[in-house]
Structures are given as C-alpha cells and as structure tokens.
Amino acid sequence: MNDATTADPGEHQPKETSTTPGQTEVSYRLWAREDLRTGIWEVTPGEFKSTRPGYDEICQILSGSGTITEPDGSSFEIGPGTLFVTPAGWEGHWTIRETVRKMWVVKNVPADAEQ
C-alpha cells in the first residue's frame, strides 16, 4: 500500500483553471468502486477557480498551504491536517502559497441533490 504523503502521483500537467501562468497539478486515483473514488492531488503555487459539478468531495490536506475563498467572500486557511467538504455545486477560489497535496474522497450525487 502507498503512503499518500510520499507516493509519486506522476507527472504534473498545466492547471486548466489557473489564473497563474505555469501553475501545474497532478491527480492520482488510489481506489475506486462504482460512484466512490479516492486518491491524492497536488498543485503548485498560484491561483485558480474550482467547482464541484455532480459530486461531493472530502479533502484532507497532507502538506502545503493556501487560502480558499468562498463566493460570499469568506475564506479559510488550509495546511497539513485541514479537513473540509466541498459539496456538489460548490464554487471557490484557491490561492496556493506552498505546493499543496491533499487526499480526496469523491462521491457522485444526482443532479437534483446539488446545493
């Protein structure tokens, strides 16, 4: 079994929703069954927008630091040990100061169950 904090997630690719030139990300699926999946994700410093269309996500930050800003302007800091949920339909803006690695668990939800 791989240690999510040190496992090699593979080659980084450009972050499509980034507003910072050169920002990259990588996602590695560790396990999946039907509509439930888990893995690790890593993103380099920069800023990007994020949405959760059709799925709920539980996030556990393993390393790095940043700030997530909600559409209403409220924000929270993320760093090692931070645990949070982004429900289906969620939108937010991420500012990454130090490369972030998170463990994620995703569950698909019916379209009529989104926020």
- Residue 46 sits in a domain whose CATH number is 2.60.120.10
**Structural domain contains residue 97:** yes
- Position 54 in a domain: yes
Report if residue 14 sits inside a domain.
no
Instruction: Answer whether residue 71 is part of any domain.
Output: yes
pTM above 0.85, yes or no: yes
SS3 8: coil
Contact in structure between 82 and 60 (CB atoms under 8 Å): yes
Question: Looking at residue 114, what is its pLDDT?
Answer: 59
Residue 115 is predicted with a pLDDT of 56
Residue 47 lies in a domain: yes
Q: Is residue 39 part of a domain?
A: yes
Asked whether residue 92 is assigned to any structural domain, the reply reads: yes
d(CA 93, CA 46): 11
The pLDDT tens digits along the chain (115 residues) read 567 777 788 899 999 999 999 999 999 999 999 999 999 999 999 999 999 999 999 999 999 999 999 999 999 999 999 999 999 999 999 999 999 999 999 999 987 665 5
Task: Say how many residues make up the chain.
Answer: 115
For residue 23, which amino acid is it?
Q
Number of domains making up the chain = 1
